[in-house]
Chains A and B, each alone.
Chain A
């Protein structure tokens, strides 16, 4: 069984109310999901509360997992990220400033270049690394740290509409790269 099949199998058993499977699913995935919470919230107590909430949802909603067509880790990560972002926004955590120097338009690929491009599993990273470094940084602040446009605007001092335009362009470039 691949790790993916294992997690999928555990979710299916949790959907049937299997408590032992729930405990194994927790043991198997909680550290990674806690990492996701911590990255967004940067506060252990808040992150643990969110993680608890996530696993309560997993127990209650495991039967709906198959319906939405995600792969198992995507389902878990998406729930976790969304909950953590909700909490982050409710807490109004201030964004960490982004250096202006990091934002200077720069057409060169990031330092990692296309070194990872060969690995299909790392397709998204390879494509992110194809973005101008500063733009890649903004996109990462969004998906890893859960920043909103307002957060990005505050962190950079750049006007919100400009930020949105930059980010949308980056996302479309990313999309093009991913569909190659």
Chain B
């Protein structure tokens, strides 16, 4: 009650105590809320009062409310709402192309015979891959040729380009292992990339994939952008 005597001379604070409790409980009308919040701005004691009520009522609610498990779907829904559907894994994005080796070889044969693609003569390709565009890579025409003996891959991009402000990065996916970066594609049509010796044996049957990445390449060592094109390496 000492509070009331303290408030006695304060004409603006006459019903502040009641209002603080009513505010904390959500009992005020919109107009009253607006007026009270203006007072709260000015009055630290009133703010402390509101806070104290909220602590007390939350404690009472905590004690008196029974815990009830929500349905398990809610947790899943939240994951989807907040964290978006997880980007499809690289494997999910490229698996149709893994099965498309024969078709890819046919497209390659057509490309070469129609003169669409010319290979660097210096490169004696023993493995080739037609990197078919994924649904995010419409318009891309990219093929790769590997000279295992020389330990190099030439990537020829004859149509399509990386999105503005992004670069293309080439990935090798052998067996069940995580994608290994082979390097960035240059802005030119053709890029020659030296391959580390320890991966050469894994190349036949492995997949090559192109993702778009920030300039300088993936900051994480794994693809972070969309996979734009992919295809298996097959004997030429």
Q: Per-residue 0/1 for A43-83: is the Cβ within 8 Å of any B Cβ (1 yes, 0 no)?
A: 01001100110011001000000001111011001100110
Q: Using Cβ atoms and an 8 Å threshold, which residues of chain B touch A31?
A: 67-70
- Considering only residues 33-91 of chain B, those with a C-beta below 8 Å from chain A are 51-52, 54-71, 74-75, 77-78, 81-83
CA–CA, A176 to B4, complex, Å? Answer: 11
Other-chain contact of A51, B26, B57, B64, B70 (Cβ < 8 Å): B70
Would A73 and B22 count as touching, CB distance under 8 A? Answer: no
Report whether over half of chain B's contact residues are helix, strand or loop; otherwise say mixed.
helix
CA–CA, A122 to B67, complex, Å? Answer: 18
Which chain A residue shows the least CB distance to B2?
A179
Which chain A residue shows the least CB distance to B61?
A77
Would A144 and B65 count as touching, CB distance under 8 A? Answer: yes
Would B18 and A168 count as touching, CB distance under 8 A? Answer: yes
Which chain B residue shows the least CB distance to A27?
B75
Would B56 and A121 count as touching, CB distance under 8 A? Answer: no
Within 8 Å of chain A (Cβ to Cβ): is B103? Answer: no
Q: Using Cβ atoms and an 8 Å threshold, which residues of chain B touch A52?
A: 74, 77-78, 81
Query: Taking A31-B67, A171-B21 as contacts, is the C-beta distance between A149 and B61 under 8 angstroms?
Result: no
Would B68 and A38 count as touching, CB distance under 8 A? Answer: yes
Within 8 Å of chain A (Cβ to Cβ): is B124? Answer: no
Within 8 Å of chain A (Cβ to Cβ): is B27? Answer: yes
- Considering only residues 12-26 of chain B, those with a C-beta below 8 Å from chain A are 17-18, 21-22, 25-26
Q: Using Cβ atoms and an 8 Å threshold, which residues of chain A touch B58?
A: 70-71, 73-74, 77-78, 81
Within 8 Å of chain A (Cβ to Cβ): is B159? Answer: no
Would A39 and B65 count as touching, CB distance under 8 A? Answer: yes
Other-chain contact of A48, B59, B65, B71 (Cβ < 8 Å): B71
Within 8 Å of chain A (Cβ to Cβ): is B116? Answer: no
Q: Using Cβ atoms and an 8 Å threshold, which residues of chain B touch A68?
A: 51
- Chain B proximity of A130: nearest CB distance (Å): 13
How many interface residues does chain B have, given as a range? 35 or more
Would A168 and B22 count as touching, CB distance under 8 A? Answer: yes
Q: Using Cβ atoms and an 8 Å threshold, which residues of chain A touch B64?
A: 125, 140, 144
Q: Per-residue 0/1 for A10-34: is the Cβ within 8 Å of any B Cβ (1 yes, 0 no)?
A: 0000000001001100100011101
Within 8 Å of chain A (Cβ to Cβ): is B1? Answer: yes
CA–CA, A6 to B155, complex, Å? Answer: 53
Would B27 and A142 count as touching, CB distance under 8 A? Answer: yes
Other-chain contact of A32, B57, B62, B75, B81 (Cβ < 8 Å): B62
Would A124 and B60 count as touching, CB distance under 8 A? Answer: yes
Would B56 and A178 count as touching, CB distance under 8 A? Answer: yes
Would B55 and A71 count as touching, CB distance under 8 A? Answer: yes
Would A171 and B22 count as touching, CB distance under 8 A? Answer: yes
5 sample A-B contacts, Cβ–Cβ < 8 Å, listed by A number? A56-B78, A74-B54, A77-B58, A143-B61, A174-B21
Chain B residues packing against A (C-beta within 8 Å): 1, 3, 17-18, 21-22, 25-27, 51-52, 54-71, 74-75, 77-78, 81-83
